[in-house]
Structure 1
Amino acid sequence: MGTQDYKTKKVISIGTVSELTGLSVRQIRYYEERKLVFPERTENGTRKFSFQDIEILNDIANKREEGVQTYEIRQEMLKENKNRNDLHRKMLKGQINAHFNLRN
């Protein structure tokens, strides 16, 4: 297991997430419905969250306190993911070009 794996491993119950974030279980479920956080489900349907999910929920809570709507938060998250994917793609392309001595 890598050093960052613990942050993404989905092992934390919704009750514990509620305690750690100060959000109600209802709020956490609402943010899941709004596609802002994506817990895994056990065979019996229990939600399991990661430490990374907790960080995301804390960020959402702070933005909501500032008056940012969930739709705006979702759009920002999608934009960040696209930028991250574009950067990753450019890095891979650069590595491939360097490996094969290609020029653009």
Structure 2
Amino acid sequence: MDSYKHKKVISIGIVSELTGLSPRQIRYYEERQLIFPDRSKGTRKYSFADVEWLVEIANKREEGVQTREIRYEMMKEIRETMRKGQINAHFRSRM
């Protein structure tokens, strides 16, 4: 059961504690469209999957990878996943 990982229930303060990133850094990654928290009444809410992704972003940044490069790779993975889904749907519809 992996669905809990994607529920957006964690506040930015807790995410900051879990990741070691400052709230400012987390908001910066949101501005750079690397992370997409839910918003309710002006409060950002993150998932455990978001926390894992933020740690990965931080590690990449420590290695010197630019945010635009991280976003490019992220979008490439999303497109590939979507393409695979379309191919699978195409073949399932023929069976």
TM bin, normalised by shorter chain, reads over 0.9
2:52 to 47, 52, 55: 55
Report the CA distance between 1:5 and its aligned residue. 1.3
- Work out the percentage of aligned pairs sharing the same amino acid: 60
Determine the C-alpha separation between the residues in 1 that align with 2:52 and 2:85: 22
Bigger radius of gyration, 1 or 2?
A: 1
Determine the C-alpha separation between the residues in 2 that align with 1:31 and 1:73: 10
Say how many residue pairs are matched.
95
For 1:96, the equivalent position in structure 2 comes to: 93
The one-character-per-residue Cα deviations of 1:49-79 (angstroms, maximum 9, x if unpaired) are 0011011101100100000000000000000
Which amino acid is 1:54 matched to?
Answer: V
For 1:102, the equivalent position in structure 2 comes to: none
Over the aligned positions, Cα root-mean-square deviation in angstroms equals 0.6
Determine the C-alpha separation between the residues in 1 that align with 2:30 and 2:81: 22
TM-score by length of 2: 0.98
Unaligned runs of 5+ in 2: none
For 2:84, the equivalent position in structure 1 comes to: 87
For 1:35, the equivalent position in structure 2 comes to: 33
Q: Secondary structure at the match of 1:41?
A: strand
The one-character-per-residue Cα deviations of 1:3-52 (angstroms, maximum 9, x if unpaired) are 2210110000000000000101110000000000000001x200000011
